[in-house]
Structure 1
Amino acid sequence: MKIASTFLTLATVAMLWGCGSKSTDTTDFADSTNEAVADSTDTDSGSAVAEDDAEFAVEAANGGMAEVALSKIAEEKATDPKVKAFAKQMVTDHSKANEELKTLASSKNITLPSAPNEEKQKAAADLGGKSGSDFDKAYIAQMKKDHDNTVKLFEDAQKEVKDAELKAFIDKTLPVIKAHAEHVKSLDKTK
């Protein structure tokens, strides 16, 4: 069963990777769509958010989906129980944040990507090719890098995002992401 599950996970990653061709990168599509909406809508009227706010939402969604995808792989392949537990927490927390962001973006007419970008898909494919302690180390290293980047993204957005509801999402989500960053650093010290 575990082999079938691992195969299914790797097949999903391969499918996502295959879907990430230059012309179908959903992150690029979302950015382009949001730029067009921002250009054609008077943001002062409150009917759309600023282009920078939409860019933050796209980047946050891209990172959140990648965290879930990578962590689902880790739930199957990690050998260290602490790494598996961390991966499970990532799936839970990031899935919740992703749903909140998706609902918020929909109410703001922000188009979010439907899958992680090519870079994130490649990281998932690379990670899926590892096993044993090499997998655990690679997953922890990827989570450390991703969470450091996400903390910076959210801290920068705290200062720059103009939409009040997006700001509230950032203020609510940033402490969770910082806790993840600290947790993964503690796991890194044990490897």
Structure 2
Amino acid sequence: MKKLCSMMLLAMGALAFQSCGSNTKNDSAANADSANYTKDTTTNAAETGGIAVVNDDAEWAVKAANGGMTEVEFSKLAQTKGTNAKVKEFADMMVKDHGGANEKLMELAKKKNITLPTTIGADEQKELADLQTKSGADFDKAYVDAMVKGHKDAADLFEKGSKDAKDADLKAFATETLPVIKGHLQAIEAIQKGLK
């Protein structure tokens, strides 16, 4: 009986471990955070190449990259599914502006040995899948609402990065990108008012 209980506990533990791991398996942002966390420059720099920034800065870069990629992916969808001319125009601007910012951040990350996500995070993938099911005016409204929320979050994130980043290059990137994000937020809020 004791052996059976031990085996049951072991099996339950393995299942719990496997189910916990499966949530992050498809979450590129969480995987990037984990990879950066293991690049501790004090204990395993030779093995990982180290990381040139503190953990908070690496986490900030992962969030910024995930947000930027999300804006681009949602906007690529809006370029094809959007029906409102202003929505499509905004989507074009997002692909161009956020695509460029994403490239700058990737260059910075490469220099600092920061691992960035390669795809949007799991939550954002679900939101994108939901957005894909919509069409017409419903799509336009859902996309605009997502862009308002995303740009509010991005403005907060980049404000924090411009003040709190320890790495001078990341701080400069956040500071120079923040006004663009705020401009996008004003533009999308105006579109949102026009859709009501």
How far apart, in 2, do the equivalents of 1:122 and 1:21 lie?
13
Q: Structure 1 length as normaliser, TM-score?
A: 0.85
C-alpha displacement of 1:47 = 5.9
* Superimposed CA distance per residue, residues 78-103 of structure 1 (whole angstroms, 9 cap, x where no aligned partner): 10111000000000000000000000
Which secondary structure does the structure 2 equivalent of 1:156 belong to?
Answer: helix
C-alpha displacement of 1:157 = 1.5
Query: 2:85 aligned to 81, 85, 95, which one?
Result: 81
Task: In structure 2, give the amino acid aligned to 1:77.
Answer: K
C-alpha displacement of 1:41 = 6.0
The verdict on how the C-alpha distance between 1:159 and 1:41 changes in structure 2, with shifts beyond 3 A counting, is farther
Q: Tell me what 2:128 maps to.
A: 124
Q: State which structure, 1 or 2, has the greater radius of gyration over its C-alpha atoms.
A: 2
C-alpha displacement of 1:172 = 1.0
Say whether the 8 Å CA contact 1:34–1:110 is kept in structure 2. yes
The CA RMSD measured in Å over matched residues stands at: 1.9
* Superimposed CA distance per residue, residues 134-184 of structure 1 (whole angstroms, 9 cap, x where no aligned partner): 000000000000000010011112221011111111111111000000000
Name the % identity.
50
Query: 1:96 aligned to 96, 100, 118, which one?
Result: 100
Q: Tell me what 2:170 maps to.
A: 166
Q: Tell me what 1:150 maps to.
A: 154
Q: Tell me what 2:193 maps to.
A: 189
Q: Structure 2 length as normaliser, TM-score?
A: 0.82
* 1:22 equivalenced with 2:24 (yes/no): yes
C-alpha displacement of 1:32 = 0.7
Q: Tell me what 1:179 maps to.
A: 183
Unaligned regions of 5+ residues in structure 2, if any? 1-21
Which secondary structure does the structure 1 equivalent of 2:118 belong to?
Answer: coil
Q: Tell me what 2:39 maps to.
A: 37
Task: In structure 2, give the amino acid aligned to 1:72.
Answer: K
How far apart, in 1, do the equivalents of 2:168 and 2:191 lie?
35
* 1:110 equivalenced with 2:110 (yes/no): no
Q: Tell me what 2:144 maps to.
A: 140
Work out the number of aligned pairs and report it: 170
Unaligned regions of 5+ residues in structure 1, if any? 1-19
The verdict on how the C-alpha distance between 1:41 and 1:88 changes in structure 2, with shifts beyond 3 A counting, is farther
Task: In structure 1, give the amino acid aligned to 2:115.
Answer: T
How far apart, in 2, do the equivalents of 1:114 and 1:148 lie?
23
